[in-house]
Amino acid sequence: MQRIEKLDELQKALGYTFSNPDLLDMALTPPSYRGRNPDTVKSDNQRLEFLGDAVYGLLASEHVYCNCPDLNEGDLTLHVTHMANGRSLAELARLFDLGDYILAVSTPVDERSIDRTLEDALEALLGAVWCDGGYVAAEQLFKTLIAKLPAMPEERWFDNPKGALQELAQYHGWPDSPLYTLLESEGPDHDPVYTMKASVYGGYEAQFAAGTKRAAEAGAAEALIRILKDNGFEV
């Protein structure tokens, strides 16, 4: 299937047709592809991803504010965080098979790299729609996306996984627990990615990557709590 036909297929799935399809193509062009094809590819999706990140945050905040009138500021923030975290965005991208349309020089070998590519492409897609059709078009696509967004977890510890993990460690008397370790820091200054590991006594551990150390620690704590829960610990 030719590239133009594939992009037409994606537009039908998204329910939006671009006036300028070059914007769609750019949104699906990661920097790695441009770097390998400098003579033929002049633009990648970094700038659109930057814009789309802000667009998604705005639309998510508006959605939660309008649809959850009884929530206080803290709970509103929690819901937006769930909607906008990397895992949610990567999952949304998978639900629309976005990976089938992203230009790639090779298939990433680790799951985090795959998620990051999907997350960036989805945000870039929103940025492209904003540039092509403005607020109304971006809102239309946002509603199409969140219709498939997994529901927010209902576990009592979801709003404070680090605190819940601390309580669990204290309850069991685990020494030097929990412990948070920075495993990796990568990416440009304007868009860093931190990978943190959370561990507790007994060899249980989990890791998570996010744009801030705080968010990465919280994600790692949440992942570790799920592991502990699966291993029979009451949380």
Report the alpha-carbon distance of residue 166 to residue 189 in Å, rounded.
Answer: 31
The catalytic position among 119, 123, 139, 222 is 123
Report the alpha-carbon distance of residue 231 to residue 25 in Å, rounded.
Answer: 45
Write out the H or E segment, with its range, that includes residue 226: helix 213-230
The catalytic position among 44, 49, 53, 217 is 53
What stretches of 147-191 show up as alpha helix (H) in DSSP? 161-172
**Residue 5 appears among annotated catalytic residues:** no
**Residue 217 appears among annotated catalytic residues:** no
Q: Which two tokens stand for residue 169?
A: 């460690």
DSSP 184: E
Are 228 and 161 within 8 A, CB to CB? Answer: no
Report the alpha-carbon distance of residue 222 to residue 198 in Å, rounded.
Answer: 9
Are 137 and 129 within 8 A, CB to CB? Answer: yes
| Active-site residue set | 53, 123
